[in-house]
Copies of this chain bind each other. A is one copy, B any other.
Amino acid sequence: MKNISNLIGRIHPLDAAAMRVARERQDVLTKPQGSLGRLEELSVKVAGITANPRPRFPRKAVIVLAADHGVAAAGVSAYPQAVTPQMVLNFLAGGAAINVLARRAGARIVVADLGVAADLPSHPNLISRKIGYGTRNMVEGPAMTAPEAQAAIAAGVEIVEAEIERGLDLVATGDMGIGNTTPSSAIVATITGRPVADVTGRGTGVDDAGWRRKVAAIERALEVNRPDPADPMDVLTKVGGFEIAGLVGDILAAAAHRRPVVIDGFISGAAALVASELCPVARSYVIAAHNSVEVGHRIMLERMELVPLLNLNLRLGEGTGAAMAMHLIDDAVAILDEMATFGEAGVSEKDPPASADVKARSGQ
């Protein structure tokens, strides 16, 4: 925990001076003030994050953390656990959705095994930081020990710091883990105090009976473990997962290094929720990519006061929504950096002459 406390100590508020300069520039670009709406707000936010009034993000990465979940034994997913390692191999072979979307966004993919319940072959593009062969079944006791959760966070921090060392301007988070909407729902239920059924969705597509099993499993896990809502590390340890803990580390590391971190959907959102309970200012560094189909997602975003950029009914994970949102972030900073000002372009500003002075040549 000392390392995590040190990291949190290095997370500072957004840079107000850079934000002011960015806002002032937006207001003299050749468009009505505010007419690019959330794109303008986004450009000002990332100016504050980077402490740079005209930031650009040429070097991007989607950090995809994979792990398994003991609670899968409770029949909470529509897919067998074998899909987790199969999909990791698919990421490495380039055939998954995140491969396609990251290529399109100009982002590299960093795949790490935080705790897949199978031995994966060694591969030059796979980072192995396995904490265990899946978490324990949280229905029966804590998913992780405190040292395991801390080690998973540390792995996430180290993965992002190594990428920053290589050169990284914009971080996106992704996940792979059969059953991982279940711990995510458990986290949001605990931290917000909402009933489990209100924050539990169908994951990759369980049927009605599967959904009832999932809700019952989470309710039982909360009874058995009694995670303390005021202690985010306790919540993460007891009802979280290795990849979720790793994503907490990713988000805190990005914030400490003043890199914007685009969170994907429900799993990344659960990690961001833990990170922002550990360090409220960290949420300023987070950009919410999209509004997931998972019902609990909206609730966690509201608690973090984050408004997602996209609303496309996604429920895939892997970082897919985050990769798509990168286009809009690049659009936002390109506008701030590349547009002409009213002065440069010789375009009249608002506050025109009264309407009688407008020399309309129409109706002649």
Contact = CB atoms under 8 A, between A and B. Distances in A.
Interface of A: 29-39, 68-70, 72-75, 77-83, 86-87, 89-90, 93-97, 99-101, 103-104, 117-118, 132-137, 140, 204-205, 213, 293, 309-316, 320, 324, 327-328, 330-331, 334-335, 338-340, 344-348, 350, 352-364
Contacts of A101: 331, 334-335
Contacts of A97: 29-31, 36, 335, 339
Contact of A31 (B77, B94, B118, B316): B316
A53 B304 CA distance: 41
A77 B344 CA distance: 23
9 A-B pairs with least C-beta separation: A95-B340, A75-B355, A37-B313, A70-B362, A134-B362, A327-B327, A80-B352, A32-B204, A35-B316
Q: What is the count of identical protomers in the complex?
A: 2
Contacts of A363: 70, 73, 134, 136-137, 140
Contact of A334 (B89, B104, B204): B104
Contacts of A311: 311
A89 B30 contact: no
A41 to B, nearest CB: 9
B39 A312 contact: yes
Nearest to A83: B348
A32 B361 contact: no
22 contacts: A30-B96, A32-B78, A72-B362, A73-B360, A75-B356, A79-B348, A79-B352, A80-B353, A81-B358, A83-B348, A90-B340, A90-B345, A99-B339, A104-B334, A133-B361, A134-B363, A136-B362, A136-B363, A310-B328, A311-B311, A324-B327, A327-B331
A309 to B, nearest CB: 7
Contacts of A315: 32, 35, 37
A74 B70 CA distance: 69
Given A33-B205, A316-B35, A352-B80, A135 B344 contact: no
A137 B132 CA distance: 74
A166 to B, nearest CB: 25
A93 B352 contact: no
B347 A90 contact: yes
Contact of A345 (B33, B86, B350): B86
Could you say which of A39, A205, A314, A315 has the most chain B C-beta atoms within 10 Å of its C-beta?
A39
